[in-house]
Amino acid sequence: MEIIYKDQCVLNMSRNNPVVKKVQPGSTVIFETYDCFSNQIQQEDQPFSSVGWDKINPATGPLFVEGAEPGDILKVEIADIKIEHKGVMTTAPKLGVLGDIVTGETTKIIAIQDGKAIFNEKIQIPIKPMIGVIGTAPADGDIPTGTPGDHGGNMDCKKIIKGSTLYLPVNVSGALLSMGDLHAVMADGEIVICGLEIPGEVTIKVDVIKGESYPLPMLVSEERLIMIASAETLDEAGKLATVNMHTFIVEQLGLPIDEAAMLLSLVGDLRICQVVDPLMTARMELPQWILDQYNYKTK
């Protein structure tokens, strides 16, 4: 099994990033990750401003997958997510949805015990580890790891968890997969610009799909098929996620255009991933039982 260590990381996703590991399709790889603050906040007297934006959202990688070429799809099966025993949250004025309300820079260290985040003496929250940043290199230019997009990136989708499978575009040879920004738990919206940020490691299996056309990024879980989309506004992101799901239903399941639209209005759930990054991210969820009725399986 291959391991990529956390100090092998990038702060942007780019075709120009030096490859840190090459693997064959079907390989299992462990990505060790920093938290989104590059593990620099260890005490509650350290504010967000002590880190600086140039250290935010490091992503371990990139991983080069042999045989992956532009136009292919990278299939990333998330086999496991292990997190450390404590995480951190911060607030600061002018950041996040409540940036005009919070009173100052506050840091909170939150312990993980028996599968729960110990928020305070009354509130213990069941953890659900997820990946905030995961993506491939764009075809051109550099995209900061803190920005989501068609390549994936900082989507902050709380459904990217153990047991799910993420499909990403291959824009350059080898795909150049990077990931980081784990959360022990996070609500939809990520309203104060962070979840429970935590270091850890992710075990994945990578494969390459050729000759298929899915709207991307696409996530498959045991219960849902999910289209993830990012745009300048939440309205635009929601519309794009919905259009992508409609396209999938028409092209993959063969429903007529109008009927597919009606179906989505009955069983398609449009949800918010995050509203605090440079682009907003939404997702459209379709129950897996709909696919089962058509005996359809994603590759």
pLDDT for the residue 52:
78
pLDDT for the residue 85:
98
> CB–CB of 91/106 below 8 Å?
yes
pLDDT for the residue 54:
85
For 280, phi then psi, to 5°, come to -85, 150
> What is the Cα–Cα distance from 153 to 161, expressed in whole angstroms?
15
DSSP 250-266: IIII---HHHHHHHHHH
**pLDDT by position in tens, the chain (length 299):** 899 999 999 999 999 999 999 999 999 999 999 999 999 999 999 999 999 788 899 999 999 999 999 999 999 999 999 999 999 999 999 999 999 999 889 999 999 999 999 999 999 999 999 999 999 999 999 999 999 999 999 999 999 999 999 999 999 999 999 999 999 999 999 999 999 999 999 999 999 999 999 999 999 999 999 999 999 999 999 999 999 999 999 999 999 999 999 999 999 999 999 999 999 999 999 999 999 999 999 99
> CB–CB of 177/63 below 8 Å?
yes
255 CB-near residues (< 8 Å, 6+ apart): 249, 263
The residues facing 28 across adjacent strands are 205
pLDDT for the residue 1:
86
Q: How far is CA 69 from CA 60, 136, 139, 170, 253, in A?
A: 21, 12, 11, 6, 27
pLDDT for the residue 53:
82
Token reading at 139: 């075809």
> What is the Cα–Cα distance from 285 to 268, expressed in whole angstroms?
6
